[in-house]
A and B are shown apart, each in its own frame.
Chain A
Amino acid sequence: MGRKTPRHGNVVQFDSVGLRYDHGPEILQDINFALPAGSFHFLTGPSGAGKSSLLRLIYLAQKPSRGRVTLFGRDTLLARRYELPALRRRVGVVFQEFKLLDHLSTLDNVALPLRVAGAGEAEVQKFVPDLLDWVGLSEHIHAKPPTLSGGQKQRVAIARAVIARPDLLLADEPTGNVDDDIAMRLMYLFEELNKLGTTVLVATHNHSLISRLQHPRLHLENGALLGPEP
């Protein structure tokens, strides 16, 4: 997309971040970490540890209750509403529940980040079919999400997250519905993007993947970060 990818500094930084929903208990407590530009991290932890909540803070679906979340050098609490779309376009997200739009075809779902960024149809037709071919969905290019299997939906969600070459890629259990071969293939895609400069954070339970790909881990337990683990 021709955007300048940051090669130094921290893409994400959390300083004493806490998060609670309404008046409930703190889901995240005193989170401190940074994702340097070009890094690749796994986010691990048991169900309910707060992995998805932490990702929501990064992709600006939620504001922290306390502390400071900095994204691409911008304090997200201080960011004005009109600044948020530009920040969000630099982040590709693979949502755990996919969040595909059921009324749109596979091609149109994957093309969304390009279209909201103002890309023309020529660009969409140039890049989207190739990527869908790469993730093995070329035969389902005109299919709508309700007609796809869980694994196929997941691959559509991944294709949508990476189509615009984001500076930061967040993936929430991206291999939960695919077999090991496809899981490894998708992780290699993430690694390729990482080599091109994309910072990657993958929340996963898949210990096989974590052990095969030697990337540092951020481990969450009961809303507290137990620190990067090698």
Chain B
Amino acid sequence: MILFGARSDLPLKNDATSRFLPWLIAPMVFLCSIALAGTIILHGMIGRWDRDVSGTLTVEIAAAPGDAQTSAERTRAKVEAAIKILSDTPGVIQARALSQDQLSALLAPWLGNTDLLREMPLPALIDVTIRPEHGPDLDALAAQLDKAVQGASIDDHRVWLSRLIGLSRAIAGLAVAVVVIIAGATSATVIYATRTGMAVHREVIDVLHLIGATDDYIARQFADRAFTLGLKGGVLGLLLNIPILGGLGFFGLHRLQGGFLGDLSLPFFGWIGVVVLPVAAAALAMLTARLTVHATLARMV
């Protein structure tokens, strides 16, 4: 066994060909952990958005035509009619019209001047709270509102959310592709290093064979060395990544608090996944080395 500096029959410790392995595996684990952490954070963010919107609806009522006062009165009447329909609908907990000030505050980040907004014919918005489990039949409700209140429409945020989920899935797929490419590149590197090491130590391997060593006895020594080097590189990659993930969480918590993105910190299970990555990289290196030695020895006499 050569694991963690233990004895080995093959002089692998001083191999120039394997010394570079930790320096290649470190950036690979770094990229892998970024991809993994990014996917977990994004998944959490989408989940929070989903929870936030799943118990709510927004009913929008277009501003009625006419001069400012007439339009306001007609729109208010439509709002009251819509609230009555909503309140009578099973599954609806509460329906509340947004005040003019609240509307102005919502639009202010885009349109700026609130005095101007007060004179504009803005649509009315009704914030509806529904039962998440047994909500109303939205199609029937939309048809009823459309019939009773001209210019009313329901937004249950599903279009917006489905686009976000689509984006999330695309990014998750990209992350999986990155991980697969990195795993492939790591394996290819280990295969190259192992084959070179076997060529360098061919005479020692021959002696071990003649003494009665099995292929697996020899393969284990290469595999143990690859595990040690893989773990060193993996831990280095993890150490490089911790400040970034920690900083992202700090930034999300202190700079974007209450904002659109919310908390960007990695959850506990995410940290476990990231910490396990170096071990996974080392295990991949070990398995690859072992299989490579077996495949190469099988071609020898």
Residues A79-109 near B (CB distance < 8 A): 81-82, 84-86, 88-89, 93, 99, 101, 103-104, 108
Question: Are B207 and A99 closer than 8 Å at their CB atoms?
Answer: yes
B1-37, CB under 8 A of A: which get 1 and which 0?
Answer: 0000001010100000000000000000000000000
Q: Are A108 and B212 in contact (CB under 8 A)?
A: no
CB within 8 Å for A59 and B213 given contacts A81-B298, A108-B7, A115-B9 = no
A60, A62, A85, A117, most chain B CB atoms within 10 A: A85
What's the minimum C-beta distance from B17 to chain A, rounded to whole angstroms? Answer: 16
- A88 near B209 with CB under 8 A, answer yes
**Complex alpha-carbon distance, A59 and B209, angstroms:** 10
Total interface residues in chain A, CB < 8 Å: 24
Question: Is B9 in contact with A104, judged by CB distance below 8 angstroms?
Answer: yes
Selected A-B contacts with CB under 8 Å, 11 pairs: A61-B210, A84-B209, A85-B213, A88-B211, A99-B203, A101-B11, A101-B204, A113-B211, A116-B214, A116-B217, A117-B212
Residues B211 and A112 in contact, CB atoms below 8 Å apart: yes
Taking residues whose C-beta sits less than 8 angstroms from the other chain, chain B's interface range is 10 to 19
Q: Is A63 an interface residue (CB 8 A)?
A: yes
Contact of B9 among A85, A112, A160 (CB under 8 A): A112
Q: Does B301 contact A (CB under 8 A)?
A: yes
Q: How far is the CA of A86 from the CA of B209 in the complex (A)?
A: 11
CA distance A84 to B301 in the complex (A): 10
Q: Is B191 at the interface (CB under 8 A from chain A)?
A: no
Instruction: Say whether A112 contacts B208, CB under 8 Å.
Output: yes
A113/B212 contact (C-beta < 8 A), A101-B204, A103-B11, A108-B7 known = yes
Contact status B207-A101, CB under 8 Å: yes
Shortest Cβ distance from B13 into A: residue: A103
Contact mask for chain A residues 98-141; partner B; CB cutoff 8 A; 1 contact, 0 none: 01010110001000110111000000000000000000000000
Contact between B11 and A85 (Cβ–Cβ < 8 Å)? Answer: no
- Residues in A neighbouring B211, C-beta threshold 8 A: 88-89, 112-113, 116, 160
User: Which residue of A89, A101, A113, A160 has the most chain B CB atoms within 10 A of its CB atom?
Assistant: A101
A98 to chain B, nearest CB (A): 10
Nearest-neighbor residue (CB-CB) of A160 within chain B: B211
Per-position contact with A for B25-51: 1 when CB-CB < 8 Å, else 0? Answer: 000000000000000000000000000
A36 to B206, CA, bound (A): 28
Given contact pairs A63-B301, A101-B204, A116-B217, A93 touches B9 in the complex (Cβ within 8 A): no
Which residues from A are CB-within-8-Å of B212? 85-86, 88-89, 113, 116-117
6 shortest interchain CB distances as A-B pairs: A89-B212, A103-B11, A88-B212, A116-B213, A85-B214, A85-B212
